[in-house]
A and B are shown apart, each in its own frame.
Chain A
Amino acid sequence: MLEAIDVSYRAGGRELVHGLSARFEPGQLHLIMGPNGAGKSTFIKLLSRLLRPSGGRVVYAGRDAAEWADSELATRRAVLSQAMELAFPLSVHEVVKMGRYPHFGGRPSRHDEAICQEVMDFFDVAVLADRSYATLSGGEQQRVNFARVLAQIWEPMPQGHRYLFLDEPLTFLDIRHQLDFMKKVRAFGRAPDVVTVGVVHDLGLAARFADRLILMRDGGIAAQGPAETVLTRDLVRAVFDVEPSFVPASDGRGVHLVFD
Chain B
Amino acid sequence: MTSPSRDSGHRLLFVLLLVLCLLMAASVCFGAIDFSPAQIWRALGTLWPGHAGGTLNERIFMDIRLPRAILCVLTGAALGVGGALMQGLFRNPIVEPGLVGTSSGAAFGAAIFFVLTGMLKFTAQPWELPVAACAGGIVATYMVFVLAQNKATGRSSIVMLLLTGLAVNALFLSGVGFMAYIARDPQARSITFWNLGTLSGANWHAVTTVGLTTIGGTLLALRYAKQLNALMIGEEEAIYLGVNVNRLKWIVMTINVVIVAVATAFTGVIAFVGLVVPHILRMIKGAENRYLIIGSALVGGILLTLADLVARLALHPAELPIGIVTSVVGVPVFISLLRHREYVF
> Known: A87-B91, A88-B232, A98-B233. Is A93-B5 also a contact (CB below 8 A)?
yes
Chain B residues with CB under 8 Å of A99's CB are 241
B34 proximal to A (CB < 8 A): no
B73-94 to A contact mask, C-beta < 8 Å, 1/0: 0000000000000011001110
In the complex, the chain B residue whose C-beta lies closest to that of A78 is: B240
Chain B residues with CB under 8 Å of A84's CB are 233-234, 237
Distance between Cα atoms of A75 and B242 in the complex (Å): 8
B157 proximal to A (CB < 8 A): no
Q: Which of A74, A88, A91 contacts B240 (CB 8 A)?
A: A74
Q: Are the CB atoms of B229 and A98 closer together than 8 Å?
A: yes
Q: Are the CB atoms of B5 and A48 closer together than 8 Å?
A: no
Chain A residues with CB under 8 Å of B232's CB are 86-88, 90
Q: Are the CB atoms of A114 and B1 closer together than 8 Å?
A: yes
Distance between Cα atoms of A93 and B4 in the complex (Å): 11
Which of B163-171, B185-193, B282-290 binds A? B282-290
> Would you give the shortest CB distance from A91 to chain B, in whole angstroms?
6
Q: Are the CB atoms of B286 and A81 closer together than 8 Å?
A: no
Size of the chain A interface, CB-CB below 8 angstroms: 34
Q: Which of B91, B239, B241 contacts A101 (CB 8 A)?
A: B241
Distance between Cα atoms of A87 and B234 in the complex (Å): 8
Interface of A is mostly: mixed
> Known: A71-B242, A90-B286, A101-B242. Is A110-B5 also a contact (CB below 8 A)?
no
Distance between Cα atoms of A71 and B240 in the complex (Å): 9
A171 proximal to B (CB < 8 A): no
**Which parts of A151-204 form the interface with B (CB within 8 Å)?**
152
Distance between Cα atoms of A94 and B282 in the complex (Å): 14
**Which parts of A99-126 form the interface with B (CB within 8 Å)?**
99, 101-102, 110, 113-114, 117
Distance between Cα atoms of A94 and B289 in the complex (Å): 11
Which residues on A are within 8 Å of B, measured CB to CB? 48, 50, 70-71, 73-75, 77-79, 81, 84-91, 93-95, 98-99, 101-102, 110, 113-114, 117, 129-130, 132, 152
Which residues on B are within 8 Å of A, measured CB to CB? 1, 3-5, 87-88, 91-93, 226, 229-230, 232-234, 236-237, 239-244, 282, 286-288
Residue pairs across A and B with Cβ atoms less than 8 A apart, 14 shown, are: A50-B240, A79-B236, A81-B236, A85-B234, A86-B232, A86-B233, A87-B91, A88-B87, A88-B282, A94-B229, A98-B233, A114-B1, A117-B1, A132-B286
